[in-house]
Each structure stands twice: as structure tokens, then as C-alpha cells.
């Protein structure tokens, strides 16, 4: 019987010559990690879908480990759709670990929750001191014309042994999520989240500066394209800020 929960594993470390090298690149049930063209700013990996999903019973798992001082950039060429589960459930779970001075950027594509789907998404991030992560994600409730299925998206980021951001976006019950103050009429929730370092950049009306090092811009809308356009601008601005900061931090004599 085919297993439905084989994790996709990506590990990267800094080798003796100072380059970011892939350790393990193991395909999982749903996603295969494909290295992209070599670049000076770290290892670039695309997570390419290999099996249609998500369907009832699916358990999509991703494990990403970034070694000390190493840089990894993850992109997803296509979004993900959770289809009608016909009474079943599915899960998407990512475990991210970034060691001291390491950096992960993860640019997700929209995660669409069709009517009839019932899916949990868990993002667990552990950052060592000096480690940081930039994450972009968008949840879309329902395909065109649908009210959308059940989704519960949790994020737990621990930095230097302390909780930095804990969120539980419980969108399982449409009657509750559509209440004023939760989502109201919106069905698209997109965010760019910086963890482990202040991303700098210009002010934004939706920017939340965390109590610890990090920030999040979360956008709500009734349609996805406007959210995606705006998130792209924020993503580019924050990535540029991280890069500029990196250049300063790794200058001779500077403490990373």
C-alpha cells in the first residue's frame, strides 16, 4: 500500500568552501525538492508537486533544516488545492529548523480550501539565536463561487527557546469565521511574516510588529489577485532589507 505521509526533506549546510550545499533532498508523497540554478545568495529549491492533493486521508509533511550560517530559499511553482474530502480530513504539516545565523525564505503559493475539504495546516518553526525566516502564505477559502471548506491553520514560531509568534487561525466553522472581527466577508487571508529579525522596510497599514524580533503583514480580501499583488511588494521589500542587513552583518569584523 502506498504511504500517504512520506515527508519531503530538505537540509542545507554551509560547506568548507563557504557555499550553501544541499545535504538531504528527499521527495515526499506530494512534493519533490528540485534545486534551481546556483546563486550567490544561497541554495534555491523548488517544491514541485508530484501527486494530486489534497484528498481525504492525505498527510503532506515537509521538513526543512538550515545549518549554521546557511541560506535556503524555497519556492513553490504551483499552489495547492484541498478538494472535497467527502467527510474525511487531511493535513499539511511543516517543521522548520534554522540554526544560528541561518536564513530561510519560503515563498508559498495560495492554498485553496474547496467546499467539502477539512484540512489542518501546521507550521512549526524553531529558530536559533541569530536565525531568521521570511515566509509568505495565502489561504483561499473556496474556489470561485464557493463558501469554502474547513481549515485550521496554526503557526508556532520559537526563537532562542521562547515563543515568538503563536497563531491559531481556526476557520473550521464557516458561521464562526464569518463573524465580525474574525474574517467577516473575507475569504482570502494572505501574509508575509518575518521571524527572528525586524525586516525594516517602510510602514504599512497592516503591519504588526511582534513583541520579539519579527513582523507580519496580513491582508484580508474577498478576492485573491489584489492580495497576491500587494504581498509581492512587501515580500520584495522585506527580502531586500534582509539581504542588505546580511551584507552588513557578514562584513569583516561584524558579528553575525
Partner 1 sequence: MGALAPLLFADGRLPVGAYTYSAGLEPAVAAGLTRDRIPALLRARLHTTAVTEAATAVLALRAGGQDPVDYGPVQRALEARTPAAPLRAASTTLGRGVHRLARRLAPDHPAVRALATAQPRPLRPVALGALGAALSVGEEELAYAVVYDELQTLTSAALKLLPGDPLDSVAWILAAEPDAADAVAAALAVRTPDGIPARTAPLTEQWALDHERSERRLFLA
Residues of this chain that interact with partner 1 (CB under 8 A) are: 154, 162-170, 176, 179-184, 186, 189, 205-212, 216, 218, 220
Taking the complex as a whole, how short is the minimal distance between the CB of residue 217 and partner 1, in angstroms?
10
| In 72-222, alpha helices (H) | 174-177
Taking the complex as a whole, how short is the minimal distance between the CB of residue 86 and partner 1, in angstroms?
27
Nearer to partner 1, 43 or 215 (CB): 215
For 66, the 3-state DSSP assignment is strand
Nearer to partner 1, 109 or 186 (CB): 186
Candidates 230, 212, 117, 97; CA nearest to 166 is: 212
Question: First-to-last CA distance in the chain?
Answer: 48
Taking the complex as a whole, how short is the minimal distance between the CB of residue 122 and partner 1, in angstroms?
13
Q: What is the helix, strand, coil percentage profile of the chain, to 5? A: 10, 45, 40
Taking the complex as a whole, how short is the minimal distance between the CB of residue 173 and partner 1, in angstroms?
9
Taking the complex as a whole, how short is the minimal distance between the CB of residue 233 and partner 1, in angstroms?
18
Whether the ω angle into residue 54 lies within 30 degrees of 0, i.e. cis, is: yes
Nearer to partner 1, 166 or 226 (CB): 166
Nearer to partner 1, 52 or 208 (CB): 208
Nearer to partner 1, 94 or 188 (CB): 188
CA angle 72, 76, 77 (to 5 degrees): 130
What single string gives the DSSP state of each residue in 46-64?
EEEE-S----TT-EEEEEE
Candidates 113, 187, 176; CA nearest to 150 is: 113
Taking the complex as a whole, how short is the minimal distance between the CB of residue 206 and partner 1, in angstroms?
6
Nearer to partner 1, 51 or 206 (CB): 206
Taking the complex as a whole, how short is the minimal distance between the CB of residue 96 and partner 1, in angstroms?
17
Nearer to partner 1, 73 or 136 (CB): 136
- CA 105 distance to own-chain centroid: 8
Q: Is 253 left (phi over 0), alpha (psi -120 to 50) or beta?
A: left
Amino acid at each position: 500500500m502506498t504511504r500517504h505521509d512520506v515527508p519531503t526533506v530538505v537540509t542545507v549546510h554551509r560547506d568548507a568552501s563557504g557555499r550553501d550545499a544541499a545535504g538531504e533532498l528527499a521527495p515526499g508523497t506530494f512534493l519533490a525538492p528540485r534545486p534551481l540554478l546556483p546563486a550567490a545568495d544561497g541554495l534555491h529549491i523548488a517544491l514541485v508537486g508530484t501527486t494530486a492533493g489534497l484528498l481525504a486521508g492525505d498527510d503532506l509533511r515537509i521538513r526543512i533544516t538550515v545549518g549554521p550560517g546557511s541560506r535556503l530559499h524555497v519556492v513553490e511553482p504551483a499552489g495547492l488545492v484541498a478538494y472535497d474530502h467527502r467527510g474525511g480530513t487531511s493535513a499539511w504539516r511543516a517543521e522548520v529548523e534554522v540554526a544560528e545565523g541561518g536564513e530561510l525564505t519560503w515563498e508559498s503559493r495560495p492554498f485553496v480550501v474547496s467546499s467539502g475539504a477539512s484540512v489542518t495546516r501546521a507550521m512549526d518553526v524553531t529558530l536559533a539565536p541569530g536565525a531568521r525566516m521570511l515566509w509568505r502564505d495565502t489561504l483561499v477559502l473556496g474556489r470561485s463561487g464557493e463558501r469554502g471548506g474547513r481549515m485550521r491553520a496554526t503557526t508556532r514560531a520559537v526563537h532562542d527557546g521562547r515563543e515568538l509568534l503563536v497563531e491559531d487561525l481556526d476557520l473550521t466553522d464557516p458561521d464562526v469565521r464569518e463573524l465580525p472581527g474574525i474574517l467577516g466577508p473575507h475569504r482570502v487571508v494572505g501574509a508575509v511574516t518575518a521571524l527572528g529579525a525586524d525586516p525594516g522596510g517602510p510602514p504599512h497599514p497592516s503591519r504588526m510588529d511582534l513583541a520579539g524580533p519579527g513582523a507580519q503583514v496580513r491582508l484580508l480580501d474577498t478576492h485573491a489577485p489584489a492580495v497576491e499583488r500587494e504581498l509581492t511588494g512587501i515580500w520584495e521589500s522585506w527580502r531586500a532589507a534582509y539581504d542588505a542587513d546580511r551584507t552588513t552583518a557578514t562584513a569583516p569584523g561584524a558579528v553575525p
